[in-house]
Amino acid sequence: MNRIFLGAIALVFLLAAGAWATEPLPALPSIPADNSMSRAKVDLGKMLFFDPRLSSSGVVSCASCHNPSFAFTDRVPRALGHKHQAGPRNTPTVLNAAFLSSQFWDGRAATLEEQALGPIQAEVEMNESLENMVKKLKANPAYVEIFKGVFGGRDPVSSVNVARAIAAFERTLITPNSPFDRYLKGDKEAISKEAEDGWALFQKKGCVGCHNGPNFTDGNFYMVRVPGSTDIGRYNVTKKDEDKYKFRVQTLRNVALTYPYFNNGSVETLHGAVKVMSKEMLGSEATDQEALLIVEFLKTLTGEMPRVDYPVLP
């Protein structure tokens, strides 16, 4: 009941301020001062993102779970990693992650750079130590030359620079110019009447209380009970009782392509996800027709996909 009340309060302020998703997705994210962008760095990051040799088995890469063909997800309920183990959570998309205030479902990484090294070390994902990863890269003369060209210095192959390169690549994975972005820019023909009605419902029902701003997430953490989940969420990071079962609000950009839904991937369809969220977070049952209209709106958040060609690895 508390989360419904707080959501209502948040919605009142949003409506008063006119602050809900009234701007299209930016064309570029902000770039940290200590990790400037360059074509060479992005290309190196792409190689590392697709290179399974960063894992202990030599068969799992970042792209194994973040597949460009599936909107940088894997379309299975929970990610499959080292020795085909199922991880604890559904794979979030990397698309537009550069606009997020924290990374992972529980927000345990503050930046893309910090996030990049997490899966490499996770036992159920890539199961590799940073020390061994760096050792393997240093044993590859071609990689050493590429790192030198990008970072310079006497010892450019490091876990810090691996993270910087992967993060630079991930900052290029932006999906602008969705039908809804064009609608916001004044093209009222960019979305259908059904989608427009769905957008009105999305606001009226209070979905916009959490899913707001250009990336359709406020970046905060809320208690979400979904079918079959016992995951205690952000509590694992903060160890605060009030954070049990809380998860970061997910972006709704490209949500029509990133099924299945929720932290455990327990809901296969977007229609089903809308019904669950309406009941669990807003305290009201959405009718089938209401859910259908909201889904039509959510489909308009699918943007232009970045072209990502598989790299030739050194």
Residue 181 CB partners (closer than 8 Å, separation 6+): 24, 25, 303
What one-letter code names the amino acid at 162?
V
* 23 noted as active-site residue: no
> CA nearest 170: which of 251, 66, 262?
66
The catalytic residue among 113, 123, 125, 304 is 125
DSSP-derived letter for residue 311 is P
**Which two structure tokens, joined as six digits, stand for 70?**
């599936």
DSSP alpha helix (H) spans, the chain: 2-17, 39-50, 62-65, 112-121, 130-138, 141-151, 159-170, 179-184, 193-204, 235-238, 270-282, 288-299
> CA nearest 228: which of 267, 258, 281, 278?
267
> CA nearest 274: which of 181, 190, 211, 182?
211
> Which residues are tagged catalytic?
125
